[in-house]
Amino acid sequence: MLEKAIVLAGCAVGAGLALIAGIGPGIGEGYAVGKACEAIGRQPECKGEVTSTMLLGCAIAETTGIYGFVTGLLLIFVAPGIFLNLL
Amino acid sequence: MNVEINGARIFFEIPVLGGIPITATMVNAWCIMVLIIGLCIWLTRDLKVRPTGKRQIVAEFVVQTAQKFVVGNMGERFRNMVPFVSAIFSMSVLCSLSSLVGAFPATSDLSTELAWAVVVFIMITGTKIRTGGLGGYLKGFTQPIFILTPFNILSELATPISMSFRHFGNIVSGSVITSLVYAALAVASHALFGWLPGALGEILGSIPFLQVGIPAVLSVYFDLFSSCMQAFIFCMLTMLYIANAAEE
């Protein structure tokens, strides 16, 4: 019983810790959008190009956060079953 | 409070090779494919040199937009990539948007995106081999110095994984957050009306009033914006990777 509780608690805490990965993309995307706004303010005529480049960059910056999210999903939905079988 | 977050449901299994499961993903993806093919056939029926109907104008607009998108990003010599990129784009958008009508979106299953990403990976490798030859392709792994070979191989393999996980994670995070918000709103409306005395409080508390309206705002972002955005980004990355592979 105690082992089961420890495994489940470990999975839940790990999922929570995995979502700390969301901090990085948040800061990075905010910085990118801010710079894009500056660029558009300086040269309003290249708004379309700046926006599409920014969205692409944001999507790539988001990847690490997505990895954290997928890890969290795995820890909640997949890992408990596997680890409980191992006991 | 009950939260249901499920993967694709398995409808039945084909009893060959140890059982091939037919999931909601496959069924919905085939439905979308039939829909796209039907749409193409309907849009391109009896074309004329001078378009008279609205239908042909719409069809020409779609084709021209796709050509401008691909040729503008990859250059004139990749004009043969237009059908491939538009196929992935339309498939991705319609699969993600199918969650609006309550169907299980095929893009919230990693297998779908992984299949697309593997196809793109094969195309990237093929383009690299065609431009530099097999020797040039293998030699590219030892650049700039041969110690970096394992890292080059890793970064090569990371391309399909990161592409598929990005699309998958965005769509699934939308559906997970939406179902969490629904569950939370049910609890909140129970707390709002459940304190009323007697049967009145019991009845009013069991109806989730707050679920009306508020999730629609989330749906606009997660279903409409995120779906189109991810399809755009997947196609954009496909084009960039393939165009880069041809330049080396």
3-state secondary structure of B62: helix
What rounded mean pLDDT belongs to chain B? 84
* B141 within 8 A of B154, measured Cβ to Cβ: no
Q: Each residue of B222-248: b (16+ CB within 10 Å) or e? A: bbeebbebbbbbbbbbbbebbbebbee
pLDDT value of residue B1: 57
| Token pair in block for residue B217 | 């705002």
pLDDT value of residue B2: 65
Residues A63-82, mean pLDDT to the nearest whole number = 87
Residue % of chain B over a pLDDT of 70: 97
Identify the band that residue B38 occupies on the pLDDT scale cut at 50, 70 and 90. Answer: very high
Q: How far is B238 from chain A (nearest CA, A)?
A: 12
pLDDT of A16 above 70: yes
pLDDT of B222 above 90: no
pLDDT value of residue A42: 94
pLDDT value of residue A36: 94
Yes or no, beta carbons of B229 and A73 under 8 Å apart: no
Angle between helix A2-18 and A79-86 (nearest 10): 150
Q: Following DSSP, what letter does each residue of A29-80 receive, concatenated?
A: HHHHHHHHHHHHHH-GGGHHHHHHHHHHHHHHHTHHHHHHHHHHHIIIIIHH
Residue A20 identity: I
Residues of B in contact with A19 (CB under 8 A): none
* CA–CA dist B38, B22 (Å, integer): 23
B168 touches chain A (CB under 8 A): yes
Residues of A in contact with B162 (CB under 8 A): 63
Q: How far is A71 from chain B (nearest CA, A)?
A: 10
- CB-nearest to A56 from B168, B173, B236 is B236
B3 touches chain A (CB under 8 A): no
B229 touches chain A (CB under 8 A): yes
* B207 within 8 A of B43, measured Cβ to Cβ: no
User: Could you give the dihedral angle defined by the CA atoms of residues B1, B100, B117 and B237, in that order, rounded to the nearest 10 degrees?
Assistant: -110
Q: How far apart are the first and last CA of chain A?
A: 11
Global ipTM: 0.78
Tell me the per-residue pLDDT of B111-152, one tens digit each, with 9 for 90 and over: 889 999 999 999 999 998 988 888 888 888 887 788 888 888
Yes or no, beta carbons of B169 and A77 under 8 Å apart: no
Yes or no, beta carbons of A59 and B166 under 8 Å apart: yes
